[in-house]
Amino acid sequence: MTFDDFKFDESLLEGLYSMGYKQPTPIQEQAIPVILNNKDLIACAQTGTGKTAAYLLPIIHHILKAPTRHLNTLIIAPTRELVLQIDQQIDGMGYFCSVGSIAIYGGNDGITWEKQRHALEEGVDIVCATPGRLIALLQSGKMNFEHLQHLVLDEADRMMDMGFIDDLKTIINYLPKNRQTIMFSATMPPKIRSLANEISNNPEQINIAISKPAAGIVQQAYVVHDHQKEALIKGILKNEDYQSVIIFSSTKENVKALEKVLRPLGSVKAFSSDLEQAEREEIMRDFKGKRLRILIGTDILSRGIDVDGISLVVNYDAPPDPEDYIHRIGRTARASKAGVAITFINERDQMKFFHIEALMGIEVPKMPIPPELGPGPEYNPEANKKKAFSRHGPSKGGGGKGKSKFHQRKK
């Protein structure tokens, strides 16, 4: 199947080919025809499957074919980061068409807030928002959803986990009943199904199975406090069986800090996008040639590095979602060799890891921490849920950016 089979508007096809998309992913193959047919949809798909384009492409196509232009689509997502990513994808796909969107999220200043209001008054096709911020705007009476055609809830399960359910119901009350409702969720617990029944009309269901880690990988986890991680990693690296090691950390800053901590152990390098291309290539050559024992990086390392014989992968910070976990640990046990994948789970990351285990359908053994490090936290994901969301918590107040609107070619 190719994108040409969907008979998208030419300018949209141009946009998606210019983004380097060659072939639809499985979720896109299944979801696009349903959305083009104006049916309601509940789709179970994780980040990394191409789920965003799966709903954006048919929606943009509908917008381009609409006889008149009004605020057409509302996309609600749990975090500012996700709202911005969706908005950027609209920018990319809509580069050659005249689709206007606005990202609305919490935590900005009054000027941005004003810009958003102004953009809304000028007219946009797609509003992409976090729930808390959207409610504030709705209550200000600045949004006219009278002609809304599509409602998308992205990462619905995460919005539920973050306590947005009442906000979502309030928002939906403002929307016309005669609309297409599309829900994407990484998991489908009963509460998501019941929300879907409440807000959608005889929806089609699609389920994209998550990939499973290779059989040769021995997975282990340590439930730790942040301050115990350094001593733990040093202890693990004393094991000389681990001759080729990749350590993943969540941010560039953490990668650099960890490199400093591990430098006394000798053969260790941080791999980061800040390095010159030649430096990166040299590090990779040394790592492949087994002249470099330990490589530390962020998720950019997990995609595409093709090195055989990695004996250990350590998730110094738990990965953001199951696909990243599978990509990261898949760096070991390649070509049917055995390998070990160890994940450190602090209190904040417990719920995240619990979801990863649930989606893989396995429980990763929790290893005892060496007694000299003192006791670690209890593994209780449910109780630690609040901490997980305190960093990006529900957004209330603030604003986002506004940008170009109807009938304006971006070319």
Q: Which stretch binds ligand AMP (CB under 6 A): 46-54, 142-150, 220-228, 273-281?
A: 46-54
Site of tokens 């509003």: 127
Report, in Å, the least distance between residue 108 CB and ligand AMP: 23
CA–CA distance, 289 with 338 (Å, rounded to integer): 19
CA angle 372–373–377, rounded 5-degree value: 135
CA–CA distance, 309 with 216 (Å, rounded to integer): 12
Binding mask 4-23 for ligand AMP (x = CB under 6 A): -----------------x-x
Rule CB under 6 A: say whether 328 interacts with ligand AMP. no
Toward ligand AMP, which CB reaches closer, 27 or 295? Answer: 27
Report, in Å, the least distance between residue 95 CB and ligand AMP: 13
3-state secondary structure of 222: strand
Q: Which stretch binds ligand AMP (CB under 6 A): 51-59, 174-182, 196-204, 226-234?
A: 51-59
DSSP label at residue 384: T
Q: Contact with ligand AMP (CB under 6 A): which of 25, 205, 211, 267?
A: 25
Report, in Å, the least distance between residue 48 CB and ligand AMP: 5
Length, in residues, of the chain:
411
How many residues bind ligand AMP (CB under 6 A)? The answer is 12
CA angle 136–66–140, rounded 5-degree value: 15
Residues 6+ apart with CB under 8 A from 307: 244, 284, 287, 288, 331, 334
Max Cα distance, the chain (Å): 70
Binding mask 225-254 for ligand AMP (x = CB under 6 A): ------------------------------
DSSP label at residue 70: S
First to last CA, the chain: 28
Q: Which stretch binds ligand AMP (CB under 6 A): 32-40, 42-50, 265-273, 334-342?
A: 42-50
Q: Which stretch binds ligand AMP (CB under 6 A): 44-52, 159-167, 221-229, 263-271?
A: 44-52
Please give the helix or strand (H or E) that residue 313 lies within, else none: strand 312-315
Report, in Å, the least distance between residue 363 CB and ligand AMP: 26
Please give the helix or strand (H or E) that residue 205 lies within, else none: strand 204-207
Rule CB under 6 A: say whether 49 interacts with ligand AMP. yes
Report, in Å, the least distance between residue 41 CB and ligand AMP: 15
Rule CB under 6 A: say whether 48 interacts with ligand AMP. yes
Toward ligand AMP, which CB reaches closer, 83 or 233? Answer: 83
Report, in Å, the least distance between residue 44 CB and ligand AMP: 13
Please give the helix or strand (H or E) that residue 64 lies within, else none: helix 51-65
Q: Which stretch binds ligand AMP (CB under 6 A): 48-56, 199-207, 275-283, 386-394?
A: 48-56
Toward ligand AMP, which CB reaches closer, 9 or 167? Answer: 9
Instruction: Tell me the CA distances in angstroms from 26 to 213, 225, 331, one per residue in order.
Output: 19, 39, 23
Q: Contact with ligand AMP (CB under 6 A): which of 42, 51, 137, 258?
A: 51
Rule CB under 6 A: say whether 50 interacts with ligand AMP. yes
Report, in Å, the least distance between residue 16 CB and ligand AMP: 8
* Alpha-helix runs per DSSP H in 66-183: 80-93, 110-122, 131-139, 156-161, 165-173
Rule CB under 6 A: say whether 47 interacts with ligand AMP. yes
Residues 52-71 that bind ligand AMP (CB under 6 A): 52-53
Beta strands in 208-309 (DSSP E): 217-223, 245-248, 268-271, 294-297
Rule CB under 6 A: say whether 398 interacts with ligand AMP. no
Instruction: Tell me the CA distances in angstroms from 316 to 63, 76, 379, one per residue in order.
Output: 44, 31, 17
Report, in Å, the least distance between residue 390 CB and ligand AMP: 24
Toward ligand AMP, which CB reaches closer, 134 or 208? Answer: 208
Toward ligand AMP, which CB reaches closer, 25 or 205? Answer: 25
Q: Find the helix packing angle between 51-65 and 80-93, rounded to 10°.
A: 50
Toward ligand AMP, which CB reaches closer, 41 or 245? Answer: 41
Toward ligand AMP, which CB reaches closer, 48 or 393? Answer: 48
CA–CA distance, 376 with 369 (Å, rounded to integer): 7
Yes or no: say if 218 and 365 are a contact pair by the CB < 8 Å rule.
Answer: no
* Residue among 211, 188, 210, 189 at smallest CA distance from 43: 188
Rule CB under 6 A: say whether 24 interacts with ligand AMP. yes
Task: Please report, as ranges, the residues that interact with ligand AMP according to CB under 6 A.
Answer: 21, 23-25, 28, 47-53
